[in-house]
Amino acid sequence: MSVSNPLLLIAELSYKCPLHCPYCSNPMTIGDAKYADELSTEDWSRVFREAGELGVLQLALTGGEPLVRKDAEELTRVAKEAGLYSNLITAGTPFTRTRAEALKEAGLDNVQISIQDSDPVSSDHIAGTKSFAKKIEAAHLARELGFPLTINVVLHRKNLDRIEEIIALAEELGARRVELANSQYQGWAAVNREALMPTREQLEHGEQVVIAARERIGPKMELLWVLPDYYEDTPKPCMGGWARDAMVITPNGDVLPCQAASSIPGLEFDNVRDRPLAEIWFESDAMNRFRDFVPEVCKTCPLGRFEVDLGGCRCQALALTGDAGNVDPVCQFSPHHALVTDAVASANRLGRNGDGEFVYRTEKATARV
């Protein structure tokens, strides 16, 4: 199969973050010394220009917290010049008036703010730090300056019951789109799975509320409801396929096919400090490793579903079965499918109030877990 040019660049500017969400999809290894060796302003600028040349259309400025980088405004300007549509994915707390105005001026296209819950106390508890009030201020500010606003809420057992209030909050903030993203169990969320996984009842209620809200609100606010794959019996096509449309660049310049790929042993990632981006996209080992790959089970799929789901997520296959080459165990035909159904059964036994302590995301905790 011929390799097409990428459409999306996910730029993880830094893994530093003032928040500590236990569901954070960042890798467990955020505290590793190599990630402290962040790309310079010049490196990122060159990368954005190369990305534009390579046909990338969309740029996500993310992390960690992208705004811990003092040069986020300058990088936004470079992105604009390179023809990229820029989307700032922020927790909101550092989105102050000075910075917001400078970002607007630099040509930032969209602002996405994540909120942990509609209830301030719970939101701060999940974030592991006082942050709710600043997020709300940031959202108002984004609207005041005329940015289109996306609100992102990662859903799990501890906040799903408030989905109605969460939607109402997003409406009040004037979001044009709300991502109600049921937690995927990647990175820190995998360690916290037991504390996060919702019950079937909670999910069904959530879905009802979303359907009713869509009906009531109409086209003025788009509601995206992302089902948790653990509750399905066929997997999701991770990232739209391994290195098909998107690439991720980590704070130190490694180029990955997805945000979790650093967990896969034996993958050698090329770094933008050493090779041009185009060369990495088309030639790097890591990008090519699973590009045309079909897991054994999928070759004889009774549903003939491979073109739809591509056998699911390589990183989830690795995390659960120990081999990234296995079919994603979310699939009902996976010999390891019980790993998923057992986790679901256990979450439902625990019930909506079942606890489980959070392991908060910190650079220090990297070493402990």
Ligand X SMILES: C[S@@+](CC[C@H](N)C(=O)[O-])C[C@H]1O[C@@H](n2cnc3c(N)ncnc32)[C@H](O)[C@@H]1O
> Which partner from the list another protein, ligand SF4, ligand X, none does 152 bind, CB cut-off 5 to 8 Å by kind?
ligand X
What's the closest the beta carbon of residue 148 comes to another protein, in angstroms? 3
Q: Which of 6, 27, 52, 63 binds ligand SF4 (CB under 6 A)?
A: 63
CA distance 19 to 129: 6
CA distance 180 to 225: 5
What's the closest the beta carbon of residue 169 comes to ligand X, in angstroms? 15
What's the closest the beta carbon of residue 299 comes to ligand X, in angstroms? 30
Chain residues 205-244 in contact with ligand SF4, contact rule CB under 6 A: 234-235
Counting contacts by CB under 6 A, is residue 19 touching ligand SF4? Answer: yes
Chain residues 235-264 in contact with another protein, contact rule CB under 8 A: none
Considering beta carbons, is residue 278 or 343 the nearer one to ligand X? Answer: 343
Residue with the two structure tokens 């604009």:
80
- With residue 127 as reference, give the H or E element that holds it: helix 120-127
- With residue 9 as reference, give the H or E element that holds it: strand 8-14
Tokens of residue 334, six digits:
């996976």
Assign 3-class secondary structure to 244-295.
CCEEEECCCCEEECCCCHHHCCCCCCCECCCCCHHHHHHHCHHHHHCCCCCC
Q: Which residues contact 45 (CB under 8 A, 6 or more apart)?
A: 74, 75, 78
Candidates 87-95, 290-298, 307-315, 331-339; binding stretch for ligand X (CB under 6 A): 87-95
Q: Which residues contact 120 (CB under 8 A, 6 or more apart)?
A: 132, 133
Counting contacts by CB under 6 A, is residue 46 touching ligand SF4? Answer: no
Tokens of residue 57, six digits:
């259309």
Considering beta carbons, is residue 13 or 209 the nearer one to ligand X? Answer: 13
The backbone region for 351, taken as left when phi is positive above 0, alpha when psi lies in -120 to 50, beta otherwise, is left
Q: How many chain residues touch ligand SF4 (CB under 6 A)?
A: 26
Binding mask 283-322 for another protein (x = CB under 8 A): ----------------------------------------
Return the SS3 of 177: strand
Q: Which of 55, 322, 335, 351 binds another protein (CB under 8 A)?
A: 55
Candidates 244-252, 263-271, 273-281, 294-302; binding stretch for ligand SF4 (CB under 6 A): 294-302
Burial 21-51 (b: 16+ CB within 10 A, else e): bbbbbbbbebbbeebeebbeeebbbbbbbbb
Q: Which of 198, 228, 251, 311 binds ligand SF4 (CB under 6 A)?
A: 311
Q: Which residues contact 338 (CB under 8 A, 6 or more apart)?
A: none
CA 194 to chain centre: 20
CA distance 173 to 348: 34
Considering beta carbons, is residue 12 or 270 the nearer one to ligand SF4? Answer: 12
> Which partner from the list another protein, ligand SF4, ligand X, none does 85 bind, CB cut-off 5 to 8 Å by kind?
another protein
Positions touching ligand X (CB under 6 A) are: 17, 23-26, 62-65, 89-91, 114, 152, 154, 181, 183-184, 186, 189
Query: Which residues sit at the interface with ligand SF4, rule CB under 6 A?
Result: 17, 19-21, 24, 26, 63-65, 91, 234-235, 297-298, 301, 303, 305-306, 309, 311-312, 327-328, 331, 333, 361
Catalog residues that contact another protein under the rule CB under 8 A.
5, 7, 53-55, 57-58, 83, 85, 87, 109-110, 112, 146-148, 150, 176-177, 215, 218-219, 222
